[in-house]
Amino acid sequence: MAKDHYKVPVSIDRSFLDHEIVLAGGGWQAPPMPIKQLLFYGGSVLVLLWVLTNTFLKQAGIGLDILVALWWLAATAFFGSLTKTKELRFRTVPALLAYLPRTARNVFTRKGSNPSDFHSIVRIDDIDESGVIAFGDGTFGQAYLVVGSASVLLFDEDRADILDRCDAFWRKIETTCELIFVTTKESQRIYHQVANLERRNRALEYRDPDLVELLDEQYDLLTNWVGGKFSSIHQYLILKGDTRDALKRAHNILQAEYAGSPLMIKELTLLDRGDTERMLRVLYTGVDDDPMALSAAK
């Protein structure tokens, strides 16, 4: 049965330092803090005491010592705070220092540019003709265009059925595979409309100029306006397996879910190399709206 409330489960990638304890006494209670945060605060205070008593600050005036201590404690409180992922904020300092140089914030993707910078962002080595993605960490992936069944207008019974189906699906997924959902806003897909228009064009028994002109006008509206000016939400699913066999098993589970019920996945379209590159091109587009050359990452 579907639950009324859900929570994010505790990660199994936890160590002794991630356990939270509560400091309380005398009717006062602090919020739960992990052991690593307490050690960081305690270690920082001990270092501050050593700096004040064993460096040149020992000979400084009391005013300067107070200013240094206040600055030190403020920095400790900031860098010792937790991020949304329960990590100490000071661990983001190396990434910040690497991002500060202006050259690190610009990635050139010209044909003559070094592809190493772009590859460090995308981490894709190759995409074969069938759409299988070879990532830089040795894993493999496959992209799909998906359409789900979720809606704010669902009845409670339908909502419960969808949640139960999703719960059963996630229990089947192996730990050797990862599911990555990508949501983009791009031009509407008009493949079916254009194909239907072409069938109507070929079915004409009499090539009346007015009818042909009407079909040309509809084709122009579809390609230049509906498919070019209007955007819609698209959702993709990337299966990422540790090996090709793990990817194949995950594909079979996903395909069985799609064939067995439309509750979780209403439509599922496997993307080949061209479609996968078009999907990635939406994500890696420069500020001048010129698509980055994905081939530079190879």
Sequence spans of domains, the chain: 16-99, 113-188+230-297
Which is more confidently placed, 4 or 243? 243
The answer to whether the predicted template modeling score (pTM) of the entire model surpasses 0.75 is: no
**Do the beta carbons of residue 222 and residue 197 sit within 8 Å?**
yes
Residues 6+ apart with CB under 8 A from 50: none
Residue 189's closest CA among 148, 127, 151, 145? Answer: 145
CATH architecture of the domain covering 113-188+230-297: 2-Layer Sandwich (3.30)
Q: Which tokens is 76 given? A: 């400790």
In this structure, the number of other CB atoms found within 10 A of the CB of residue 240 comes to: 20
Would you state the pLDDT for residue 168? Answer: 92
Q: Which tokens is 194 given? A: 């254009």
- Tell me, rounded to whole angstroms, the distance of Cα 168 from its chain centroid: 23
Which range of 54-63, 96-105, 251-260 scores highest in mean pLDDT? It is 251-260
85-99 average pLDDT score: 89
Straight-line distance from the first to the last Cα atom of the chain, in angstroms, rounded to the nearest whole number:
47
Nearest-angstrom CA–CA distance, 128 and 149: 31
For the segment 196-236, what is each residue's pLDDT rounded down to a tens digit?
888 988 888 888 888 888 888 988 888 888 877 778 888 99
**Do the beta carbons of residue 288 and residue 108 sit within 8 Å?**
no
For the segment 5-62, what is each residue's pLDDT rounded down to a tens digit?
777 777 777 888 888 888 887 777 888 899 999 999 999 999 999 999 998 888 888 8
Indicate the pLDDT class of residue 1, thresholds 50, 70 and 90: low
140-144 average pLDDT score: 97
